Structure 1
Amino acid sequence: MRRSTMVRGRSVVGMAAAAAMLAACGEGAVADAEDADGESVGDEEAEISLRYAFFAPAASFPAVQMEEWAERLNERTDGRVSVELFPGGTLLESGDIFDGVSGGIAEVGMDSPAYDVGRFPLSSVMALPVDFPNSQVASRTMLDLLEEFEPEEFADYEIITAFTTEPAYIQSEEPVTSRDDLDGLEMRSAGAGVPALQALGASPVGMPMPEVAEGLQTGVLDGYMSSREVLQDFGLAEQVNYVTDYAFGISNTFVAVMDQSEYDNLPADVQEAIVELRPEMTEFASEYHDDQNVGDALEWAESEHGVEVVELDDGEREAWDGALEGLIDDWFEEAEGHGFDPQEVFDRMNELREQYTAELGS
């Protein structure tokens, strides 16, 4: 991606200390190496170790993707590149990961742009209610947009891969089948889900997904809006009883990045392997999510915890559709002045959505 001279001023508690600790350990992406006679070997032959940070548990589908990426990269570099995985917020937590990569705490990091409101305006187009049928269509659309438009929001990074969840659904302690049921409910959401819930009368609560279980246990939350794999990946089927069968926009996007200068210092063949893996991992993550992850989670939630799926009647569904129409107009206003043409991005997103829906089905 393009380089930028912009310096971000965001302060993250604990990141400086973590960086100092890791620096004291002498870790870096390209390890100094010697041959059997004690002679230094060139960068093209040196072993490389990368730290890869993510916030969700190891069993979550994005973390399964990062493990697959690590294995494929190791194989394609004949074992020269090894990747140490840090899922579950063990190195960096959600909202801190992109800055943590810039600060050298991790060489690779994956986070959700939706958790940093306003920082990723082009990426936020993916959360609009435009009827993406599944993760596979949305993920390919997302990666194409990032590669075609090279948005300023990722100018300091090399994009490792990008993908999305399925659409979001309301998941709640009590059944939600009307706007009246939502009135006043404290519902966790992120990104475009916040105004969507507001438009339907709920009270959205900004909260990272790893904190939702505690929020439900303590009564801070009545439910949340998210893709349905979290019922199992985060164990939330133990806390909620109902899923409302109404698909909002894409629940979440994930982007994995490496600091651009870190990437530029890698040997050319390693860079080539990373670029080759970018679309492969988009396909792997989205296919795994659609074909296995969500279905397994729903089956587990229903059979093991009695979670029920509830429906909206036709009139209520039309009313919800109408209430959400204004979100697209709001996005156009918010996207102005960020170095891209909102109409061009929106139109291209819809072209790609239609193209991939025709190719991949719904």
Structure 2
Amino acid sequence: MLDMKTGLRGLVLAAALAVAAGLPSGHAQAAERSFRMATGWAGGPLMEIGAKAFAKNVAELSNGRLEVQVFPGGTLGPALKVSETVQQGIADMGHTWPGYDWGADPTAVLFGGYAGSFDTEHMLHWLYRGGGNELWAEWRKEKFNLVAMPLFIRTAEAFLHSRKPVRTLEDLKGLKLRTAGAWLEISKEMGAAPVTTPGGEVYTALERGTIDATEWGTLYEDIAPGFYRVTKYVIIPGVHQPTAPFELVINPKVWDSLSAGDQEIIRQAAFVTTMNSWLTIGQEDAKALAFYREQGNEVIELAPEVQYKAHELGIKWAEGQAKDNPWFAKVLKSQEAFADLWKDAHRYRNVKTQDTE
């Protein structure tokens, strides 16, 4: 006979697989509990295959007992301050990017991704099998008094949608670009003039020429906000953001009020949503370059010198932060140990063909 914990996990996993396959998990019933979720997004993939997909998965896994009401960015609180909105109890939970809190603690960008991060496949393995998820939860609880876990993850972002061509280090000098997180500091070292604005304000800033360029999401995600309409150039790859995990933050009083079973439903809904976002974005990114070319955009690949320099400065920045921040040092050490464990993975995971030479 299975013990209760094992049995619960088995039932939840079976339901999660049903959700992933788009199958019904049982007869729906009226919601017994409703949660208000603040987000940092007005719409687009972060909303549709992130926050709203999570809400749907929670409903499916709970057979309709649990309901998540998703609110667009700015409705319950500032779009860039979702964690504060949840801390204060204005929202029960929130969907945000941890890097927005880098000013309070730079450790945030180690979970949210920065120029020195590994790619998304490595990040997923570190999070779910290498101890990253547990460190994330401990850090959010200790530093922000929030319950947290991954919710949504990107592949490498587009580097820029730009009104000006950008290929070289010289092209970056003086470039007014919208960004967030550690790249604010690192891009300055590369000569750029970065600023931070909420996503909903970026299109207008580009259209008016207040900024020259923006980074936001992956090639696919950037179709929805329409940056291609007011810029001519798409710059790849996203050296500033090789990966970008997002997160679910929950008010601890709300979390503690849930049964162990309902807490597990939340965890599994977040996991299913995260894995589905990675698969969906990966497929749609592959189609996106053709779309931009059809719209009259020119696709530019950054010179190797820019790519090398960004990674080099990212690592240097992280090492500097670790000297005076115990939490940063702890998480960075875990990521470095993971990278060392995986250092030969390319030799046994990748098969060379004529196309990869």
TM-score (norm 2): 0.76
Over 3 Å counting, the alpha-carbon distance change for 1:323 and 1:111 in structure 2 is: closer
Cross-structure match for 1:13: none
Give the match for residue 282 of structure 1. 274
Q: CA deviation at 1:263?
A: 0.7
Are residues 1:145 and 2:132 paired?
Answer: yes
Q: Which amino acid aligns with 1:274?
A: I
CA contact (8 A) 1:332 1:342 kept: no
| 8 Å CA contact 2:52, 2:70 repeated in 1 | yes
1:246-257 matched pairs, under 5 angstroms: 246-248=237-239, 249-250=241-242, 252-257=244-249
Query: 1:326 is matched by which residue type in structure 2?
Result: L
- Residues 164-194 of structure 1: CA distance to partner in whole angstroms, max 9, x if unpaired? 3222312211211212222211011111222
1:347 to 336, 341, 354: 336
> Which segment drifts farther, 342-351 or 105-114?
342-351
1: CA distance between counterparts of 2:33 and 2:161?
Answer: 43
- Aligned partner (choices 224, 227, 231) of residue 236 of structure 1: 227
Could you tell me how far apart the structure 1 residues matched to 2:141 and 2:249 are? 9
The equivalent of 1:101 in structure 2 is: 86
| Residue of structure 1 in register with 2:207 after alignment | 217
Residues 187 and 103 (structure 1 numbering): CA distance in 2 closer, same or farther, change over 3 Å? Answer: same
Q: Say which structure is richer in helix.
A: 2
Paired residue for 1:157? 146
* Residues 67 and 342 of structure 1, relative CA distance in 2, 3 Å threshold: closer
- Cα gap change, 1:325 to 1:55, in 2 (>3 Å): same
Q: Which residue of 2 aligns with 1:291?
A: 283
Residue of structure 1 in register with 2:115 after alignment: 129
Q: Distance in 2 between matches of 1:92 and 1:140?
A: 33
Corresponding residue number in structure 1 for 2:326: 338
CA distance in 2, matches of 1:188, 1:85: 26
Query: What code does the residue aligned with 1:250 have?
Result: P
User: Following TM superposition, by how much is the alpha carbon of 1:141 offset from its aligned partner in structure 2, in angstroms?
Assistant: 3.3
| Match of residue 40 from structure 1 | none
Tell me the CA shift for residue 296 of structure 1: 4.6
TM-score by length of 1: 0.75
1:325 counterpart SS class: helix
Map 1:168-187 to 2 at 5 A. Answer: 168=157, 169-187=159-177
Per the TM alignment, residue 360 of structure 1 is displaced from its structure 2 partner at its CA by: 10
Q: SS of 2:174's equivalent?
A: coil
Counterpart in 1 of 2:64?
A: 79
Residue type matched to 2:45 in 1? S
Supply the distance in 1 between the matched residues of 2:216 and 2:123 (Cα, whole angstroms). 15
Query: SS in structure 1 opposite 2:326?
Result: coil
Unmatched tracts of structure 2, length 5 or more:
1-29
Alpha carbons of 1:298 and 1:88: their partners in 2 closer, same or farther (altered >3 Å)?
Answer: farther
The one-letter code matched in structure 2 to 1:254 is F
2:187 to 197, 201, 206: 197
Deviation at 1:325, TM superposition (A): 1.1
- Tell whether 2:49 aligns with 1:64: yes
Answering whether residue 185 of structure 2 is matched by residue 206 of structure 1, we say no
Provide the aligned C-alpha RMSD in A: 3.0
Q: Which amino acid is 2:336 matched to?
A: D
1:254 counterpart SS class:
strand
1:51 CA drift (Å): 1.3
Aligned pair in 2 of structure 1 residues 324, 344: CA closer, same or farther (>3 Å)?
Answer: closer
1:77 and 1:198 mapped to 2: Cα distance?
47
Contact 1:184 1:203 in 2 (8 A): yes
| Aligned positions, number | 312
Cα contact 1:162–1:255 (8 A) shared by 2? yes
Q: 1:349 to 1:72 in 2, by over 3 A?
A: same
The match for 2:297 among 300, 307, 311 is 307
C-alpha distance in 2, partners of 1:63/1:188?
Answer: 23
Deviation of residue 285 (structure 1)?
1.7
C-alpha distance 307-154 of structure 1, shift in aligned 2 (>3 A): farther
Gaps of 5+ in 1: 1-44
Q: Tell me, what secondary structure is at the counterpart of 2:115? A: coil
CA distance in 2, matches of 1:355, 1:297: 31
Greater shift after overlay, 247-256 or 68-77?
A: 247-256
Q: Which 10-residue stretch deviates more, 137-146 or 196-205?
A: 137-146
Sequence identity, in percent? 24
Bigger shift: residues 88-97 or 347-356:
347-356
Query: Matches of 1:204 and 1:269 in 2, distance apart?
Result: 45
Distance between the aligned counterparts of 2:207 and 2:213, measured in 1? Answer: 11
Deviations 1:117-149 (A, max 9, x none): 33343331253434644x444345345513246
Matching residue of 1:38: none
Q: Which amino acid aligns with 1:110?
A: H
